Structure 1
Amino acid sequence: MSNDAGFINLEENIKSTIYEGLLKLGYQNNESFSIYYDLDLLNHLLLSSFDSNETCLNYLQEFKTFAEQDLLDIEISLERNRFKFSVNKDGIESIYKHENNPFLNDLIQTVNTHSFHLEDILAIFKRYSDEYICEEIDNDEFQYVLYFKDNKMDKFKYCFTFDEMGGYYHRLLDFSFNKILNE
């Protein structure tokens, strides 16, 4: 019953999200890492249409077997109506060693200073491609959204806010970005 394309989407998202977290927080050997998903985002990633958390949780047991092929030992549970994916220390070490995204690394090094400006972010995007979009957004959560025209370069939208405390960002898939705009 498995959907390999959906499993690939989910696994890539888990690895990418954990990699982003490791870049932000630093890599600590011997630590596990957990991330959370709502059912609607899981349905999007899995290319599925589960209507209950329990049905999806049962299906995700097949995903655990799929992920083990890439040495990701993942524990999946429900916590407060969200899915918790916990990757053990060996999986984290594998992600840290094998994921490589120079763009994200450069972006997070700049963002971690909190004293950056839009021009700094634009320069990073331009360093990797002239083909990117920067839009001012009328939203309570962020002021600008930047993303590459070619999503093979990076499939996320980077949403920025600048205020008297500095700059901040959210990294969102199109699905999550559209959900926030339509709330």
Structure 2
Amino acid sequence: MNSVNYKRLEKSLTDVIQEAQLKIGYDHHPITLYYPTESVARLLGTPEEDADNTEHALASLSAHTADTLGAIQVTRDDKRFCFHISAEGTQYVHEQLPDPAFLRAFLQVMRGLTVSFDDILAVFHQFSDKVHCEKLEGNEEFDYLVYFEDGTPDSYRYCIKLDDDGDAVYHRFTPEDYAAFGF
């Protein structure tokens, strides 16, 4: 098997934990995260069409996360992997990782009673001059794609949907997942 990129998966897991903690607060409990098998393969650099190979690579994940997230229990069903992260792992994220200032500001705007796209875009521009913004024509799920062109402060692709009542929803994808989903 080629070199497996555990760091990318660990970064994704910690990013999702931080996002959850910003949304609902930190409560020193374990967390369970679900990822599509293809996303895990892309993060690890294993062949997407070989879920068994990806599962085999995940058997060594806890050895790579012992000092940060601790032992991660991984299970698999036919379409996704489930990552069970201990309370100690979520505590590590809460206490040891730097504050995700952009994500905090972004979520603050998204929680507003009414959300405008200008307000959302202003948060991106508050953190970088290199912001890509694209209207997603013909896409029923999302209206806009926004991301930082140089990957700073993060490399996620933010897909945003606005409705007429001033409500907004988003999903953030890795660049590879965004490309694979073919928006």
- TM-score under structure 2 length normalisation: 0.90
Match for residue 147 of structure 2? 147
Q: Matches of 2:164 and 2:87 in 1, distance apart?
A: 38
Residue 118 in 1 paired to residue 136 in 2?
no
Distance change (3 Å), C-alpha of 1:160 and 1:50: closer
- Asked whether the 8 Å contact 2:102–2:153 carries over to 1, the reply is no
* 2:92 match: 94
**1:143 Cα shift?**
0.3
Structure 1 pair 87–159 and aligned structure 2 pair: CA distance change class (3 A): same
Q: How far is the alpha carbon of 1:179 from its aligned partner?
A: 2.5
Per the alignment, residue 174 of structure 1 pairs with: 175
CA contact (8 A) 1:39 1:82 kept: yes
Closer, same or farther: CA 114–86 of 1 in aligned 2, 3 Å: farther
How many residues end up aligned between the 2 structures? 180
Task: Rate the CA distance shift 1:180–1:71 in 2: closer, same or farther, 3 A.
Answer: closer
User: 1:10 is aligned with what amino acid?
Assistant: L
Q: Identity percentage over the alignment?
A: 26
The answer as to whether partners of 2:156 and 2:175 remain within 8 angstroms in 1 is yes
* 1:98/1:148 CA distance change after superposition, 3 Å: same
| Matched-pair contact (CA < 8 Å) for 1:53–1:81 | no
Alignment of 1:23-172 (within 5 A): 23-29=22-28, 31-49=29-47, 51-99=49-97, 100-113=99-112, 115-138=114-137, 139-165=139-165, 166-172=167-173
Once structures 1 and 2 are overlaid, which stretch shifts more, 72-81 or 83-92? Answer: 72-81
Scaled by the length of structure 1, what TM-score is found?
0.90
User: Could you tell me how far 1:22 is from its partner in structure 2?
Assistant: 1.2
- For residue 153 of structure 1, give the secondary structure of its aligned residue in structure 2: coil
Q: Do the aligned residues in 2 keep the contact of 1:114 with 1:167 (CA within 8 Å)?
A: no
- Alpha carbons 1:144, 1:160 under 8 Å: kept: yes
Cα offset, 1:102, TM superposition: 0.2
Cα RMSD for the two superposed structures: 1.8
SS in 2 for 1:36: strand
Deviation at 1:159, TM superposition (A): 0.9
Question: Which aligned runs of 4 or more in structure 1 are off by greater than 4 angstroms?
Answer: none
Structure 1 residues 74, 153: closer, same or farther in 2, change over 3 A? Answer: same
- In the alignment, is the contact (CA less than 8 A) between 2:46 and 2:53 conserved in 1? no
- C-alpha offsets along residues 142-163 of structure 1, whole Å, 9 cap, x if unaligned? 0001101111421101111111
After TM superposition, give the deviation of residue 50 of structure 1 in Å: 5.7
Q: 1:161 to 1:38 in 2, by over 3 A?
A: same
Task: Report the alpha carbon displacement of residue 130 of structure 1 after superposing the two structures with TM.
Answer: 1.2
